[in-house]
Amino acid sequence: MLILGIDDSGRGPVIGPMVLAGCLITEELSCEFKEKGVKDSKMLTARKREALAKIIKEKAIAYHVVQADPTEIEMKMKTGTNLNSLEAIKAAEIINKLNKGTEPIKVILDCPSPNRKAWEIYLRRFVNNKDNLDFVVEHKADVNYPSVSAASILAKTTRDAEIEKIKKKIGVDFGSGYPADPTTCKFLRDYAGKHKDDGIFRKTWQTWKDLCRTKEQKNLKDF
């Protein structure tokens, strides 16, 4: 049986895309990846992630990466599709891309929802061929399964590359893009107005709403 691990990167930031990756491997490769130090991307340095990502891409049977940019996330939110549901839709895209229907595959996903069963049921709605698939939906799957750890690394390195592209395009270092990052917060205060239409912000996020509310209050005080 083959193993398809799927994980995300960038669920929480106010800037940049959410990325999901899928990594299709064998049981033997799972053991090899573990020996080489493949683990949840959050437990690795950027340099180590990049080195392991190269190994993963070279050795995996197949892999596939999908993105949801801020504009797509905003559109989905406004039409009632929350982030957990969007993640299920994107995970199904990966499954449909990598599943050829010829061999049994254990699909292991790091579940973003507290309700694992409900999320799995929703995910299955978007999977084209389920006959050869065995689903394992768990919390902390990125820690417990090398296939999901590998997917975590591919997702994280892809998102990091996308963030660097945005920085290069606008010519400003805004840090990680996460609300808790002081560099990101300063960028929002200084440049949100200038880049608000560049498609880099998740405007449905509370961080963005709070920023706009603060700016409105400041403007009122000027009168």
Higher pLDDT, 180 or 30: 30
According to DSSP, the β-strands at 18-25 and 105-110 are unpaired
pLDDT of residue 150: 98
Whether 108 and 44 share a structural domain: yes
Local structure of residue 201 (DSSP, 8 states): B
Whether 49 and 117 share a structural domain: yes
CATH of the domain at 207: 1.10.10.460
Whether 147 and 58 share a structural domain: yes
Q: Is the pLDDT of residue 217 over 70?
A: no
Local structure of residue 15 (DSSP, 8 states): B
Q: Is the pLDDT of residue 202 over 90?
A: no
Q: Is the pLDDT of residue 193 over 90?
A: no
Q: Is the pLDDT of residue 209 over 70?
A: no
pLDDT digits (tens, 9 = 90+) for 62-115: 999 999 999 999 999 889 999 999 999 999 999 999 999 889 999 999 999 999
pLDDT-above-70 percentage for the chain: 91
Residue 215 Ramachandran class (φ > 0 left, ψ -120 to 50 alpha, else beta): alpha
Phi, psi for residue 110 in degrees, rounded to 5:
-80, 115
Tell which of 166, 183, 199 closes a domain. Answer: 166
Cβ-proximal residues to 123 (8 Å cutoff; 6+ apart), any chain: 88, 91, 92, 109, 135, 137
Residue ranges making up the domain that contains 106:
2-166
Tell which of 120, 149, 166 closes a domain. Answer: 166
Q: Which helix (H) or strand (E) holds 55?
A: helix 46-59
Q: At what angle do helices 27-35 and 46-59 cross, to 10 degrees?
A: 150
Distance from chain centroid for Cα 6: 10
CATH of the domain at 38: 3.30.420.10
Q: Where do runs of H (alpha helix) occur along 9-45?
A: 27-35
Whether 212 and 112 share a structural domain: no
Whether 125 and 189 share a structural domain: no
| Of 117, 87, 85, residue with least CA distance to 19 | 87
Question: What is the domain count for the chain?
Answer: 2
Tell me the whole-structure pTM to 2 decimals: 0.91
